[in-house]
Amino acid sequence: MVKPLKAAQPAKGGKTAVKQSSGNKRKGEAAPAGGAARPAKKFRAENGKPKAAEPLKKLSSKEKRATIREKKLALKKNWEVIHDATLLWERLRPKETPDAERRQLVNDILKKVKGKLLELVNHHTASRVIQFCIKHGGEAERKAVMEEVRANIVELSKSKYGHFLVRKLVNTAKKDEVPGIVRLFRGHVAQLLRQPYGADVITDLYDVASTADRNAMCSEFYGKEFVLFDGLTGEAGRLHSLQQLMAGAPAAKKRAILQHFAKSLIPIMEKALVHPPITHRLVKDYLECSTGMTVEEAVETLSATGEALLRMVHTHEGAAAACMVLAYGTPKDRKKVVRAMKGHVAKMAADEWGHVVLCMALGCVDDTALTGKIIVPEIKDLLSEGVHEATAVRVLLQLLAPDSRRHFPPAIYDMLHPPQRTVKGSTGKAVTDLEGEEDEVLDFDVGGDGEEGDDDGDDLFTAKKDKKKNKASAGKKGGDADGGDKAAADKAKPKAKGRGKQAEDEDADEDGGDGGAKRGGEEGEDDAEVGPGGERVLGASKKDPLVRRRELLGGGPKSLSAALTAVVAGAAAALMRSPHSCELVVEVARGGEGGLLAELDEAGVGAVQEALVEDAARSPEEVKEAAGARIGDDDEDGDAAAAGPSSAAAEHVFLNFFSSRALRRLLLAAAEEIDGAGGAAAGFAKQLWERAVKGRCKQWVGTHAEKVLAALVHCGVPEVQAAAAKELKPLVKGPVEEWASKFVSHKDKPHHGPGAAHAKEQHQPQQQPAAVSATPAGATPAAAKGKQGAQTPATAKGKQQPQTPATAGGKRAAQGQDSGLKGKAKQAKRK
């Protein structure tokens, strides 16, 4: 009995050994039948001692590389070709490599990859190697690569690494090779623009393409016939815009074109792939030619994020499209765009076309609390440098003198004033009447009775909710024909208000509740007012432009108006001699349009005028000495760039080309002020005469300063006009009024505001007074006589005055001889 108990002891010990064994993870696992031990990391012999581990064979570095190479060859396709090409590329990359050796290396690499390009260009390293060969290879090497990838160039354009090779081939192609490359992408432009990598390829191709090729690429959005046959008459290369195609086309054709256009473009806008310049042109055409309802939906899509719209502002077409988005958008859409501008205002203000979008935002966004937080602080930060840049100056002039044709070129002025668009119905129902009251470029209905309104293209232009509402209203109208329309109109109004309330709540949540109530009170509802006939204007603003400007400029020491006047006063002398900044000084010194800036910061405007008068009171010698001393200090400091405008800085403000004309406009502005001698410009005219010109007219007669003297005679301040005429009378030949009229041009009269209407009145014939001193303060006899003076022989010598019968034919021609008398005179002369 004892022996069996002793025999059981090893079993316990065996169980314990199993627990301690590192190879057995499961507890209490019994040994397998037959006495075979479970495999483990450590094997024990029968005597219980572990076996000696077999020593691992140590591989050399060469053997390790060989092992790794064998594994990669087995697992990675074309690894050996890529490896060998990379080794040659490392020898090719250094700049010290001779040209002969470089050409040989390029040939060696292309020989290795020949026949495998389509597989290798999808590899990161191999794609870079082949691009390097195209860059440093010859024409034969580029043609060889192009021939190998020609059949699959569209698919490569969608590849992550392959599209870089296609872009390199496009950018290195010769001018006569570009049309052939464009034909390879024919029919695939819209497809590639919906893909991120393909959009980059189309961008490069559009940049190097000719005008005809660009037109052909855009025409693929007009219909299938332009993809297959270049249009029915081969006009694809001659269509510079969608409006040209729509002009004169029948209604059914217009409908089909815009349906195909929307089907191709809307997915691109929804994906926010709007950075290619070709997309900017397409979006601009779409917004110009679509109906109000379609434009409203497109604006909502483009302004969904705001950042996508900012990728368009660096081109002419993109900036025009962005301006239309701001003009036609709802207050909620505009807020999204303004929020996206945060941190980008300085770059936009310095951009050739981006500053136009900034001007549009300052002129149409009613939420001045939001623009005051995002745009205005960044404008204040760039004032010190921006007053010297032409584009930033236009942004400031939009606040001081908005809608001025003098300050904005025609192309920019048209971008800031897009045509008005209307939508019928308070909920944005699509318009389908070709002969209706809506002033649109295009409508969608084919027939006049509306029977074809249920065609297959309505899904693109009418929302599903609107369709259900239309069907419901139609059914209700059939049941109750007398009061159906009135009930539908009454039902639509509260829905629009509810939508505006929801938009306000969402904006308040996004702002964290800060200022949301204030902005909601300023802007009103999100929807536009519904006019007669159920029409509403897209983007209609409810805030007075003068109130908007007042809130943006602000008052007080920390306002934009105070910062602007301080910067201009500190650099008034240099700014007056600048070709673009002198206009800013004139607007600041006259107090802005309507005297708003003088009202907000009277002391600042006075400081600017004081700086101008002090600069004008100096003699030409003092100006030259000061300019020479400034240049000498700059040379000692090593600042050679500051010595650039030395010639302009050494000229007196009366003698400089730009400053003399700017002073003339500023003095003539005094005659255009409503209250006569009480405005800011009138005060400046008095100071300039008393402190800088009085008693020194003899010094300036016969120089370019005569323009300033003539403007003093026309300034509209009676005492200044009389004193100037009295002092100039013995110094000039002939009457003072006639002499001064030569230097007053119609171009110096305002193109905006109340002064524009006053200038029109000045062109009407008026009876001239006997003397300047007898003229009332409100009238401007000198300016009124300008036109009469322009009809004298003296003005016929000017470059800007054309040769008319009044100036070339003498007294009889000035009285208006008819064509019959002229013909008789010519016949008599021939005889």
Which pLDDT tens digit goes with each residue over 506-536? Answer: 444 444 444 433 433 344 444 445 555 567 8
Residue 660 sits in the same domain as residue 613: no
Structural domain contains residue 115: yes
298: number of Cβ within 10 Å: 22
Tell me if 376 is assigned to some domain.
Answer: no
Using DSSP's 3-state secondary structure scheme, residue 44 falls into strand
Secondary structure class of 805 (helix, strand, coil): helix
Same domain membership, residue 790 and residue 745: yes
Residues 6 or more apart in contact with residue 337 via CB below 8 angstroms: 303, 306, 309, 310, 322, 325, 326, 329, 361
Residue with tokens 């024909």: 481
CA distance 484 to 477: 5
Phi then psi dihedrals of residue 423, to 5 deg: -130, 135
CA distance 523 to 541: 8
Q: Is 804 in the same domain as 672?
A: yes
CA dist 753 and 475 (Å) reads 52
pLDDT tens for each residue of 616-664: 999 888 888 887 766 555 555 444 444 344 577 888 999 999 999 999 9
Q: 130, 145, 172 — which closes off a domain? A: 172
Q: Can you read off the two tokens belonging to residue 731?
A: 């110094």
Residues 676 and 759 in one domain: yes
Q: How many helices (H) and strands (E) does the chain have?
A: 50, 2
Identify the sign of the CA torsion 703, 708, 711, 713. Answer: negative
Lowest mean pLDDT segment, chosen from 207-211, 499-503, 616-620, 710-714: 499-503
- 112-138 pLDDT, tens digit per residue, is 888 888 888 888 888 999 999 999 888
Q: Are 367 and 375 in contact (CB under 8 A)?
A: no
Of 92, 75, 73, 93, nearest in space to 83 by CA: 73
Q: Which residues contact 649 (CB under 8 A, 6 or more apart)?
A: 574, 577, 623, 627, 630, 631
Alpha-carbon torsion angle 772, 778, 783, 787, nearest 10: -110
CA distance 786 to 792: 10
Q: Count the helix, strand and coil residues of the chain and give each as a percent rounded to the nearest 5.
A: 65, 0, 35
Is 782 within a domain?
A: yes
Core vs surface per residue 191-205: b (16+ CB within 10 A) or e: bbbebebbbbbbbbb
Q: Do 588 and 717 have their domain in common?
A: no
Which residue in the block uniquely carries the two structure tokens 């000692």? 636
- Do 755 and 800 belong to one domain? yes
pLDDT at 704: 87
Quick: pLDDT tens for 83-100: 888 889 898 888 888 988
124 compared with 811, residue with greater pLDDT: 124
Question: Is 770 part of any domain?
Answer: yes
CA of residue 54 relative to chain centroid, distance: 75
Average pLDDT score over residue span 673-688 = 76
Q: Which residues, in sequence order, are CB contacts of 457 under 8 Å at separation 6+?
A: 255, 256, 259, 444
Any domain includes 469: no
Please name the residues in contact with 711: beta carbons below 8 A apart, sequence gap of 6 or more. 663, 664, 667, 668, 743, 744
Q: How many domains does one find in the chain?
A: 3
SS3 424: strand
The kind and range of the H/E element at 810 are: helix 810-814
Residues 791 and 668 in one domain: yes
Nearest of 111, 103, 106, 149 to residue 129 by alpha carbon: 106
Tens digit of pLDDT for each residue in 604-624?
999 999 999 999 999 888 888
What separation in angstroms does the CA of 160 have from each of 77, 145, 163?
A: 18, 19, 6
Show the domain range for 594: 554-617
662 and 796 share one domain: yes
Same domain, 660 and 751: yes
How far, in Å, are 323, 356, 392, 818 from residue 359 at the CA level?
Answer: 9, 5, 10, 50
Q: Is the same domain home to 607 and 667?
A: no
Residue 67 has pLDDT above 80, yes or no: no
Q: What is the average pLDDT across 375-399?
A: 94
Asked whether the beta carbons of 385 and 737 are under 8 A apart, the reply is no
Count of CB atoms within 10 A of residue 767's CB? 6
Q: Is residue 746 part of a domain?
A: yes
In a domain, 648, yes or no: no
Q: For position 66, what pLDDT does the model report?
A: 72
Of 260-274, 453-467, 578-592, 726-740, the range with the lowest mean pLDDT is 453-467
**DSSP classification of residue 39:** P
The whole-angstrom separation of Cα 253 and Cα 237 is 19
- 568 and 681 in a single domain? The answer is no
**What pLDDT score does 58 carry?**
76
CB atoms within 10 A of CB 187: 14
From CA 191, how far away is CA 185, in angstroms rounded?
A: 10
Same domain for 758 and 697, yes or no, is yes
Instruction: Answer whether residue 712 is part of any domain.
Output: yes
Query: Using the 8-state DSSP alphabet, how is residue 535 labeled?
Result: E
Average pLDDT over the chain, rounded to an integer = 75
Short-list 494, 586, 621, 548, CA closest to 363: 548
Cα(619)–Cα(210) distance, integer angstroms? 56
Query: For residue range 182-218, what is the model confidence (pLDDT) as tens digits?
Result: 999 999 999 999 999 999 999 999 999 999 999 999 9
